[in-house]
Amino acid sequence: MVRGAAAPSSGTALSALSYTLDGGTPMPVAFGAANDFATGINLFSTGAGAHTLVLTAVDAAGNVSTDTLHVTMAAPVPFTVASLTPAADTL
């Protein structure tokens, strides 16, 4: 989970927020009226080791700002199916 608040320096409203992990596809991040956000990061295809998370904010004037975080995962995220609908052999 990544939490925070974007603060556009231009005084204009925030218009878009996204993240990329290791240069992957930009993923949109929802934000509130106070430019606050909290979003889960998809780590299922991410292995152990060093990774780069880049947050990108765009304000209403088109100004772009990025923040780069270097993170390390000790182990891959385990994938477990807790339930499945419809249940097996019910089709």
Q: Encode pLDDT of 6-62 as tens digits.
A: 887 767 889 999 999 999 999 999 999 888 999 998 887 888 999 999 999 998 889
Q: What angle do CA 67, 15, 2 make, to 5 degrees?
A: 40
Does residue 89 surpass a pLDDT of 90? no
- pLDDT category at 67 given cuts 50, 70, 90 is very high
Q: How many CB atoms lie within 10 A of CB 73?
A: 13
3-state class (DSSP) for residue 52: strand
Lookup: tokens for 90:
């019910």
